[in-house]
A and B are shown apart, each in its own frame.
Chain A
Amino acid sequence: MTVSPFPEVVAAPVFDIEQILAGIDTMAAQRPVAAQIVSVANSDDTNAKALARILASDVALASRVMKLANSAYFGMRGRVTSLQFAVTVVGFTTVRTMATVALTNLDDESRLPENFWDVTTSVALAAATLAPRFGERPQDSLCLGLLAQMGAALLNHNDPDGYAEIMASQPTYRGRRTAETRRYGINSLRLTAIALEQWGFPTTMTTPLMEIDDYRNSDGALLRAAFEVAARLTTEDYDEVPISKITCGRLGEDDLVPVLDLVRADAAELRRAMLGETSDDDAGEWVE
């Protein structure tokens, strides 16, 4: 099947995308620390000490970074006791991703599409696990997975009824993207890509989001595979797509078995680490 990556016919936008992105800027004003982290974490001369210092001002965010650093996923098993070391363990990209999650209200589940975090953690874990097979860094792929659905969250937030309709009528992510383009003039992953690019995330993270629907393009293959894993795990009666077809032949069904097991086992913990609330009192001790 040949797929055109960019639909020729575009319905007139019924929705002001510009306004949505402007909304992100407003959010930044509400979470200045997160906004600052998003802007400095990518800089070449950033170090863990500087990041930890900024992070310390947002106790809730600092708590989450600590929690994530101590999760089984990072392998430190409760040994991370300082915020600076937590930043070292999870890496700057992950800190930045967590700041982005906080900045865009992705941690407020009441405002998100149904099933949002189940899918997100599955996509993230699958992408991280499969990353070495595609020559990517697992950490970056984890972050990409965690942020991929940000566009969907924005659309849902600004048009809850319309987006619920799309969710209900389109069981597959691909079909949903087509419907999004029809309704908003842009699909949710492209919206994510644009927002990330706006904040200076590297093109290695935005390109897969742009290329996801072009099955011939290997740049989007890892993310396609990750969504496929997530769909198989979270969508009832899901009609599986052969994995070799969407990964330009890089993966076979056998390769997916251990990944499915792992994601099924670890997704809940990653979700707790990403969102888990810790009392404000605890966080102060971690700040050096």
Chain B
Amino acid sequence: MSVSISAHHEDMVPPEIVSTVFYSATVSDTLAILVAEAAHGGQRLTWCNEGAVKLLGYGVDDVRALPLDQLFPSLGGGELKLLLRRERSARMTVPVRTASGAVIDAVVMTTPDPSGRMWTMRLLSTSNEQERALRATADAHERRFSALTERSPVPTLLSEQGMRLAHVNDAFCSLVGLRAEQLLGTGWINTIHEDDLDGVIEQVAAALDGDEVEIQARLVREDATVRTTVIRFAHLFTPGVGAGFVGTIEDITDRLAFEAKLAHQANHDPLTGLPNRTLLAQYVAERFERGTGALACLFMDLDNFKVVNDSLGHTAGDELLVEVATRLRSTVRPGDLVARFGGDEFVVVCENVDETAAVALAGRVSGALATPMRLGGVDVRPYASVGVTVQTAEHESADELIRDCDIAMYQAKAGGKGRITVLDQQARAEARDKLRLVAELRDAIERREITLTYQPIFSSAEGLPVAVESLARWEHRDRGPISPATFVPLAEESGLISGLGLLVLDETCRQIAEWDHLLGPAAPPRANVNVSALQLDDNLPSQVAAALERHQLEPSRISVEITESALMKDPECAREILQQLRDQGIELAIDDFGTGYSSLAYLRRLPVDCLKVDRSFVAEMAGGHPEIASAVIALAATLNLCTVAEGVETLDQAAELTSLGATFLQGFSLAEPMTGGHAAAWFASHVETSR
């Protein structure tokens, strides 16, 4: 505050206010106020307040006697005039001499009175406590900030204004291998890889505009090595200075290298270092263009690899695979891809070759592989079966190309070892047809389009129906009925058998429950359900129990039929599972008995109730050869098992089998398989007529 007193216009400020202000200025000890006056070509002090006395240490009278140039020892005559200007107020930071002779720094603000002959001077010591404290705080902030960045292991850039750096920390210096003075200003820009520079500058521009941004950029070190980094820019604003940024740098070079290594491991076979199946698929997919016919594939499978593994050991087997990989790589053309498909299978993919060239390459590959190598002290010639496929207009996807190549290899293998085969179109069509059928079968099972028919089984003694056998049927939308002899093995090969088996089991149980509901006591007492060898595992007993439970049926309503050959694969395991089923109260029958060479001794130990005499033995009876059927029936009787004779074609056969002692009969002549609905009607009428 500066005080000037004017007497010219009495109406401007009431005198009592002037005196109040004047009084407060006089006694204030926080404001140092002096008045100077022009006199005799110079200036002298005429008045001061309490604050000035306190600040300067002079008495009031001493101040009045003090020449101005003593108060401001640094100001020469010319400069004093600049402080005491006539037309306007002035402000200067100058040293002020106190009574003790000490010099203190002060801001001096002067205001002339309208006459231009007197000046109010206000002194503000720049070293007062509050200011010192503020400065100390600011210094402490500055020190903390610089300690934080300078000692931080995170490479950091700091600009207070624009692109030019004011600070760079040690971590950044070591990252790029340069000294701070080489990086300050715009020097740091030179460390950014030329191709990334535009992007970095764009991000800095965004950061200066107030955004928080980041960018991946390469830094070129002093030794010309390159580090890949992520630079994060944050906006910085200093009042009165402008916009700047803080950049923190994360060196991700090692992380990227590690990720690349992981990616390589994911796409390459660790033994041979060749691309694996995943990369092969990716590679072919990237180059496959429908209808262009530019790709060719060679599929190789080593002959007798299992023999090497079994006789010389897996180490020798691995050694062989590595050698094969090496030979393949050195035989193919530059740019061709060699991949390990799995096990002892390798695939070569070539671009821009016709069939002749592809076959020629296959020949070279076979030749190269067949060179003898010494393995565990033995000379081995690794022959391979090679399937060749050249892309045609019919190939719709990259997968098809590799699949065809696989088919060609199987054809080569089937034709004898060490062969090269170009895919035969018919084989291709067949293989594809089979694949299509598998897909359709999967859909049919999912949509429950597999239906069941039921063929009655009669008691030979009374001639009454005592059970049915449920038989799966598939009516294909386009192909018409498909035989179980076709689709059951297909389901077994393609892993669909479990779903099919469960469908048959569940549907049979549902049907029995429905019959019970419709027919009451006239419903078929039992249904025989066929179970595939592949279903014969630990899950079977619980699956059967669940199906019975679901439809609220007694276990005695189901008989499980298993082929003799299924039992012979792992007899001990089969026996355990059958025992569990038996314990649940389920009857067990052996289907097609007599065709599977089962040991009689073993048969005795199996917990079965019934043998089904194969239809082929029954058929033989028509030619005057009842011997086998007779023997089977007699054997069953000896073991205390009942028998079902299948495929009974005539009533004579039925009579003959009855006389041989067959317990039950089943065949077209007696009753054909029928739908659940027809079976209900059939049983209703049959039981009616038999009463």
Contacts and interface: CB of A to CB of B under 8 A. Distances in A.
Nearest to A195: B82
B348 to A, nearest CB: 51
A137 B201 contact: no
B201 A79 contact: yes
B90 interface: yes
B91 interface: yes
B162 A185 contact: no
A205 to B, nearest CB: 11
Interface residues of B, number: 41
A91 B186 contact: no
Given A133-B181, A194-B92, A42 B73 contact: no
Contacts of B82: 17-18, 21, 186, 194
A44 B185 CA distance: 25
Interface stretch (A4-12, A107-115, A157-165, A238-246): A4-12
A260 interface: no
Interface residues of A, number: 57
Contacts of B181: 132-133, 258
Interface stretch (A82-90, A171-179, A229-237): A82-90
Q: Which of A131, A133, A139, A203 has the most CB of B within 10 A?
A: A139
B76 A186 contact: yes
A74 B162 contact: yes
B81 interface: yes
A5 B95 CA distance: 12
B239 A45 contact: yes
A181 B185 contact: no
Given A17-B79, A186-B78, A194-B82, A73 B186 contact: yes
A75 B189 contact: yes
A97 B4 CA distance: 34
B43 interface: no
B54 interface: no
Interface in A16-41: 16-18, 21-22, 25, 41
Contacts of B81: 13, 16-18
Contacts of A13: 77-78, 81
A22 B161 contact: no
Contacts of A18: 81-82, 85-86
B161 A91 contact: yes
Given A44-B240, A194-B92, A197-B93, A74 B186 contact: yes
B166 to A, nearest CB: 6
Contact of A139 (B79, B164, B205): B164
Contacts of B92: 194, 197
A74 B239 CA distance: 20
A208 to B, nearest CB: 12
A48 to B, nearest CB: 6
A184 B73 CA distance: 18
Contacts of B244: 91
Interface in B62-119: 73-74, 76-79, 81-82, 85-88, 90-93
12 contacts: A6-B73, A12-B77, A13-B78, A18-B82, A18-B85, A21-B82, A42-B240, A75-B189, A92-B161, A92-B241, A93-B240, A137-B161
Interface of A: 5-7, 10, 12-13, 15-18, 21-22, 25, 41-46, 48, 69, 72-77, 79, 85, 87-94, 128-129, 131-133, 137-139, 181, 184-186, 190, 194, 197-198, 203, 206-207, 258
Task: Enumerate the 4 nearest inter-chain pairs by beta-carbon distance, A residue then B residue, closest first.
Answer: A185-B78, A91-B161, A75-B186, A75-B163
